[in-house]
């Protein structure tokens, strides 16, 4: 995964969690590296501390291999989504 891939994946996560409905994917593609991915937001919930959180599925294809993970992120004090 290149540095540009990581930036694209992080931006895709922010867009998915902030702007997409549940099950509506945000995708990214790096034409230079050939890598690509998608973030699919799932349910929203409140953390024990009262932060707004969302689960999401992240799928990335890097160097021809595909990886999928279920993750969670919560909105931090600056309004950005941070993985938990």
The domain limits of the chain are 3-78
Q: What is the pLDDT of residue 60?
A: 98
Per the structure block, which two tokens stand in for 66?
């595909």
* The pLDDT value given to residue 61: 98
Q: Which two tokens stand for residue 18?
A: 């902030």
Exposure class string for 56-81: b at 16+ Cβ within 10 A, else e: bbbebebeeeeeeeeebbbbeeeeeb
Strand bridging mode 26-29 / 65-75: unpaired
Give the pLDDT of residue 4.
Answer: 97
Residue 65: per-residue pLDDT: 98
Q: What's the pLDDT tens digit per position in 29-73? A: 999 999 999 999 999 999 999 999 999 999 999 999 999 999 999
Lowest mean pLDDT segment, chosen from 18-22, 68-72, 76-80: 76-80
pTM listed for this prediction: 0.90
């Amino acid at each position: 995964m290149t540095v540009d891939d990581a930036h694209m994946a992080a931006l895709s996560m922010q867009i998915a969690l902030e702007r997409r409905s549940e099950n509506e994917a945000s995708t990214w593609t790096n034409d230079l590296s050939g890598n690509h991915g998608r973030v699919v937001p799932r349910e929203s919930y409140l953390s024990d501390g009262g932060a707004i959180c969302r689960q999401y599925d992240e799928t990335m294809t890097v160097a021809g291999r595909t990886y999928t993970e279920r993750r969670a992120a919560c909105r931090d004090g600056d309004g950005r989504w941070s993985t938990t």
